[in-house]
Structure 1
Amino acid sequence: MFWGALLLLLSSNVVAERHDSDLMSFVTPIQLPEVRALKWEIEYHDRERMAPGYWFVAPYGQISPERPTQKYQQYQVGPYIYDDSGILIWAGSPLYDNENTFDFKPVYNIDSNPHLSFIVGWASDGTKKGHGAIVNQHYEVEKEVQVINDLHDFNMHEFNILEGGKTALACTYRNALINMADFGRPTEESWVTVGGFVELDIATSEVLVQWDSFDKIALHESNMFHAWDDPAGGEPGWDYVHINAVDKNEAGDYLISLRFTNTLYLISGQDGSILWRLGGLESDFDQDFTFSKQHDAKFVSSNGTRHVISVLNNASDERGNDENTSAGLIIELDTAVTPMTARVIRRINRPDSGLTRLRGSFRPLPNGNYFVGWSERGYSSEHAPNGDLLVTARFASDRYSTYRSYKGEFTGRPSAPPDLVSNVYGTDDKDTTTLIHVSWNGATDVVQWKFYAQSYDRGEPVLIGSTNKTDFETMFIADGYMDWVSAQAIDADGNVMHTSNVMRTGIPSNWKAAGWGGANSGPSPDDPSIIAAANEVTDLASSDTASDDETAEVINDSTSSGSTGSSGVSDHSAAQYADAKEVAKAVYKAYDIIRGIGSLIIFMLVVCTLGGAGFAIWRFIRGRRKRSYQHVPSEEGLPTEEIRLTSTVRE
């Protein structure tokens, strides 16, 4: 029986998942070559108040790129989109061949269409220094912004596309020798890693603005080193500021976050001077709060002397912690008063009261909610405007993290067609079932799938059923052996978004080994038009709302003979189904013979013509004309004539 085969199939999957139950697996492989996307653990607290949108994450196993080996590796890391149920929307790992990616997010300020941006990591051997990538809603790479100057790489912290999509901001690190006079040792020098930023022309990767901390931020502002520490020695030296975020306001000034000084700085867009410091040892503000080891500082608004800033207060690092829990902060600054003031107007504590010692992100959403990426294991949370917790989510796997997490709306329109795989199962001629799996990697608003089958490769598509889309991959079970199948993606308005390629249904290499008990070596494909008509009769007969007249009309339309009545509908449909299976089996074999004879005739024509036996061929063809017509496929590639499989009548 089919269900026995299905149970065997499912049980084999269960065995395979024992070792990697935290990863998804898929049947449809064409668009997703060996992709194993991460599963989520989600806890909802008030789902109705959640903002609309998708989750954008870029899981990685380790930040430093691994050296390539001969070891088999599945696609797991890279850019991924999920909905807020944890259902996969887009697996982007094949786009850059399983490379680490960072700062993956939706972008709305380039033009009227949504885009995606992220940073592609550097190569372990230094041959690739990484770059920023911009992808359109068809998941096609539109721009690649390359590493600039003599920098080691395109830094992983930031790829911030500015309004209009002409320029972008990125963090920079470079090595420099610095005099240690600030530590009271003017005769000594030491290597340091200088932190800074650049503004780049997206079209050309040209550096338009460049700034770094070398001659602007003294060594003593760092929380990493002290005057009594020994010199760092050779390159790269002390990482004494560690920049991890940069943003720009309408006035043209830049906000930067230096993690190793516990400080946010406003840098003049005119001359590169430091306009003010918030936090750290030399804060210019009267503030009633602290923050440290912070990440993802951004302008929420900036209007003259009033600035609102969002920042993740990690309050900890690998060495220890300054507070008991990490938190997202919304800070309001007033620079018109003396002294300037800074006040926290919203604080979002980490829901589990834990600490995010590395990485992370914090952003307000358009509806007033807040979305926080706590980084480790992809731990994320959404909060209402008043701070109420709405949802928490994390990767089911403890082997992966994401540097930042984002939530936002996006419309994905993949250029590639939906991906479809079909297989037939059964134990005898009267019990065959076709399992169809379909997915469309990156499509955001498919609500339904319609499935079609053809009696042969160029046959007319017949609708064999439909089902709602409820997961990344949808399975449909069709009665009988459907040999040529396809699927249409349908949106909420009933429009066809795209159609898959017509795919041939796979069969077991050994039917007997798969449990086949039929008289032949395996089943023959069914004619979908006959099966669909039989199913329609059965469905209508079982409907409480169908009248006898309606049922009889369907039966009369779908059959050329036979009588029906109010008490004979189910018997008729059952007999029709059995007859359909036998008819389809016989006609399919006849069609195979016809195609085989046609191919043989063409072969003989070529051979005999080359051998000078044209007359014999003419006699053969003349003799064939007196027999029943059989189709010969066109050598010119023209469409073959359709052979109606609903009849077995021969001329």
Structure 2
Amino acid sequence: MSRTAMGRFSQAFILFASCFSVAKSAGKELWPLQKFKSSSIQTPFMNVTKMGTAEPGFLFLTPRDIIRETGHPAIYSDDGQLIWQGPSGNYSALQPQMLNNEPVIAYWSGDVSRGFGFGGITIVNSSYDEIHRVTLDCKAENFVTIYDPMTFASCIDIHESEITDNGTILVTAVNVTEADLSAIGGPKDGWIQDALVYEIDIKTNEILFRWSAYEHIDQMPLRDVRAPLDGSGGNKTDPYGYPHLNSISKYGDSYLVSSRYMCSLFFIASNGSVTWHLHGQTGGDFELGLDTSFCYQHDARFKFQSDERVTISLHNNEHASFTGHTSLTTGMVLDVELQGSKRVTLKSRMWDSTEPVYAESQGSYQSLGNGHVLQQHGSTPKIEEYDENGTIVMRARFGYDKTMQTYRTYRYPWVGRPATKPDVVACLDGKNGKSTVYVSWNGATDVEYWKVYSGTEVKETAVRNGFETTILVDGLTSSDSVVVAAVGGVGDGMRSESVTVGQC
């Protein structure tokens, strides 16, 4: 794509409509941003309330400011302080994981469209350096897009970035495909958003597994889709949203796949056949028990698996832009009997009864240690943690409804080892004769305190206080220079560049 075309594309499709569907509205109140003296970073305030003991670890998310049209990958501590912010752009499916026994962060970035996207997966190490960029050659895979003949360098979709134990990564993709829609009242020569699953070798970019929903339409029929046609499907620029896959996990040689618009989970064998189908409204291959229905769900994962039974967790939106009603968003855990009765039983359901959420799209459910659960609500910028009894122990907000969002949020242990140096600004206050030194180090997690040097002399020592620490120093003039050194942690002894004291 040319630079000019890319610019037009980004301006035209900057919002993740449908899956990321919130319209910009005039007069919407802006969520306040944290701003710093030593860094140009601006990031949403994370408003955290704790009612109990949360699990250790940092919060990983991709906050997107819909009104200001900015987004970035980010890490926060759960006292609301920023730890790291990556560059601005379109981001999704951020997930801290392990690769070759080393902690990494994987996230999607690229161009966004109406509920899907075209991009690649970036994998960064603990120094935030890119070590892999996983892509999918659109031309080699014969992809057609709604922007044809406009082309893209990579056709990986926004919805998944799960790394396996074998050094591969699971991703989704969307290919515009001709299809007969007459069974659901559409045109016989219609068009759909065929959803594909890929498993790709991270080092070589080799495709190891490919699966197309439409190629298995006999096991994934159009009649199971709950999204209305609403005039779509008549041409390739407005294809029908079948089936909108939004999470993939691998178990053994098989894959658990979630289809948002089919309100369904599919377990797919290595040969591509559907082993079983759990429909959240009709049951599919199973019998739904009391309170086990779900729809428009996200982030389905196995908590337990055997030949006889699986236990599945998911984020149950039960709500979409086209439903015409508002349903409570909950986290759900279901027991599914694979043999015998084939009955689905509700194991647990959780929601914040004090501040309930009605999320139209996106969201995540993460099982933590000690029975805790972290739940995040996508288009509603709210994070919750529950203890082993289902009692809420933390609420966190990073925006007003319909102004901020993130696709998922994870809690994860992390030691940041930034390859950069600390950032410093120093200025002299002529009124009191004191100098103020501001220091930050984007991505550092365990600095204990800072030392301010002028020449070889230590002028002041201060305990690190959040992303940016403010240090008052006596005895400096506007002609002096200072260097600030980190003390403690993996970056112990790292010094900033020398900066001259300016005027405040």
TM-score by length of 1: 0.65
Query: Helix, strand or coil for the counterpart of 1:210?
Result: strand
> 2:494 matched to which residue of 1?
499
Which of 116, 121, 130 does residue 110 from structure 2 map onto? 121
Alignment partners' CA distance in 1, 2:185 and 2:323: 28
> 1:221 matched to which residue of 2?
224
Query: Helix, strand or coil for the counterpart of 1:355?
Result: coil
Indicate how the Cα distance of structure 1 residues 391 and 344 shifts in structure 2: closer, same or farther if over 3 A, else same.
same
> 1:299 matched to which residue of 2?
302
CA contact (8 A) 2:104 2:123 kept: yes
Alignment partners' CA distance in 1, 2:129 and 2:240: 40
User: Partner amino acid for 1:445?
Assistant: D
> 1:135 matched to which residue of 2?
124
Indicate how the Cα distance of structure 1 residues 322 and 210 shifts in structure 2: closer, same or farther if over 3 A, else same.
farther
C-alpha displacement of 1:167: 0.8
The answer to whether structure 1 residue 354 and structure 2 residue 362 are counterparts is: no
The answer to whether structure 1 residue 37 and structure 2 residue 43 are counterparts is: yes
User: Partner amino acid for 1:418?
Assistant: P
C-alpha displacement of 1:388: 0.3
Alignment partners' CA distance in 1, 2:445 and 2:173: 35
> 1:372 matched to which residue of 2?
375
Cα-to-partner distance string for 1:43-91 (whole Å, 9 max, x where unaligned): 2211xx200011111012349xxxxxxxxx99x5210110001100001
> 1:174 matched to which residue of 2?
175
Query: Helix, strand or coil for the counterpart of 1:260?
Result: coil
User: Partner amino acid for 1:133?
Assistant: T
Query: Helix, strand or coil for the counterpart of 1:367?
Result: helix
> 1:520 matched to which residue of 2?
none
Query: Helix, strand or coil for the counterpart of 1:320?
Result: coil
Which of 318, 338, 347 does residue 315 from structure 1 map onto? 318
Indicate how the Cα distance of structure 1 residues 284 and 477 shifts in structure 2: closer, same or farther if over 3 A, else same.
same
C-alpha displacement of 1:320: 3.0
User: Partner amino acid for 1:488?
Assistant: A
Indicate how the Cα distance of structure 1 residues 145 and 230 shifts in structure 2: closer, same or farther if over 3 A, else same.
closer
The answer to whether structure 1 residue 55 and structure 2 residue 41 are counterparts is: no
Counting only pairs closer than 5 Å after superposition, residues 160-199 of structure 1 correspond to structure 2 as 160-164=162-166, 166-180=167-181, 182-183=183-184, 188-199=188-199
CA contact (8 A) 1:168 1:201 kept: yes
Indicate how the Cα distance of structure 1 residues 506 and 451 shifts in structure 2: closer, same or farther if over 3 A, else same.
closer
CA contact (8 A) 1:261 1:280 kept: no
User: Partner amino acid for 1:469?
Assistant: R
CA contact (8 A) 1:421 1:503 kept: no
Which of 2, 24, 47 does residue 34 from structure 2 map onto? 24
Indicate how the Cα distance of structure 1 residues 404 and 123 shifts in structure 2: closer, same or farther if over 3 A, else same.
closer
Which of 127, 136, 160 does residue 147 from structure 1 map onto? 136
The answer to whether structure 1 residue 477 and structure 2 residue 472 are counterparts is: yes
C-alpha displacement of 1:347: 1.0
User: Partner amino acid for 2:425?
Assistant: V
Alignment partners' CA distance in 1, 2:227 and 2:444: 46
> 1:333 matched to which residue of 2?
336
> 2:437 matched to which residue of 1?
436
Query: Helix, strand or coil for the counterpart of 1:316?
Result: coil
Cα-to-partner distance string for 1:436-484 (whole Å, 9 max, x where unaligned): 1111110111121122111xxxxxx112221111211001111111512
Size of the aligned set, in residue pairs, is 450
> 1:601 matched to which residue of 2?
none
User: Partner amino acid for 2:280?
Assistant: G
Which of 412, 415, 439 does residue 408 from structure 1 map onto? 412
Alignment partners' CA distance in 1, 2:408 and 2:156: 17
Q: Between the two proteins, what is the percent identity of the paired residues?
A: 25
Alignment partners' CA distance in 1, 2:447 and 2:405: 29
Cα-to-partner distance string for 1:64-120 (whole Å, 9 max, x where unaligned): xxxxxxxxx99x521011000110000112xxxx11111112112x12321111001
User: Partner amino acid for 1:476?
Assistant: I
C-alpha displacement of 1:421: 1.4
Alignment partners' CA distance in 2, 1:171 and 1:496: 37
Indicate how the Cα distance of structure 1 residues 328 and 486 shifts in structure 2: closer, same or farther if over 3 A, else same.
same
Query: Helix, strand or coil for the counterpart of 2:502?
Result: coil
Alignment partners' CA distance in 2, 1:502 and 1:133: 29
Alignment partners' CA distance in 2, 1:468 and 1:453: 18
Alignment partners' CA distance in 2, 1:35 and 1:278: 44
Alignment partners' CA distance in 2, 1:357 and 1:231: 20
Q: Which sections of structure 2, spanning at least 5 residues, go unmatched?
A: 1-28, 146-154
Alignment partners' CA distance in 2, 1:279 and 1:507: 63
Alignment partners' CA distance in 2, 1:290 and 1:346: 13
User: Partner amino acid for 2:267?
Assistant: L
> 1:345 matched to which residue of 2?
347
Deviates more, 1:273-282 or 1:285-294: 273-282
User: Partner amino acid for 1:169?
Assistant: L
> 1:84 matched to which residue of 2?
78
Q: Which sections of structure 1, spanning at least 5 residues, go unmatched?
A: 1-18, 64-72, 455-460, 509-513, 515-651
CA contact (8 A) 1:138 1:414 kept: yes
Cα-to-partner distance string for 1:395-454 (whole Å, 9 max, x where unaligned): 145522111111111110111111111112225xxx522211111110111121122111
Indicate how the Cα distance of structure 1 residues 231 and 314 shifts in structure 2: closer, same or farther if over 3 A, else same.
closer
Alignment partners' CA distance in 2, 1:478 and 1:450: 11
Which of 97, 122, 132 does residue 107 from structure 1 map onto? 97
Indicate the structure whose relative CO is greater, using CA pairs within 8 Å and at least 6 residues apart. 2
> 2:23 matched to which residue of 1?
none
C-alpha displacement of 1:131: 0.7
User: Partner amino acid for 2:496?
Assistant: N
Counting only pairs closer than 5 Å after superposition, residues 588-607 of structure 1 correspond to structure 2 as none
TM-score by length of 2: 0.83
User: Partner amino acid for 1:485?
Assistant: V
> 1:447 matched to which residue of 2?
448
Indicate how the Cα distance of structure 1 residues 267 and 375 shifts in structure 2: closer, same or farther if over 3 A, else same.
same
Alignment partners' CA distance in 2, 1:224 and 1:20: 32
The answer to whether structure 1 residue 420 and structure 2 residue 424 are counterparts is: yes
C-alpha displacement of 1:507: 2.7
Structure 1 or 2, whichever has the larger Rg, is: 1
Alignment partners' CA distance in 2, 1:192 and 1:183: 12
C-alpha displacement of 1:321: 6.5
CA contact (8 A) 1:190 1:233 kept: yes
Alignment partners' CA distance in 2, 1:361 and 1:192: 26
Flag the structure with higher strand content: 2
Alignment partners' CA distance in 1, 2:65 and 2:207: 32
> 2:486 matched to which residue of 1?
489
> 1:575 matched to which residue of 2?
none
C-alpha displacement of 1:367: 3.0
C-alpha displacement of 1:231: 7.4
C-alpha displacement of 1:279: 2.5
Query: Helix, strand or coil for the counterpart of 1:37?
Result: strand
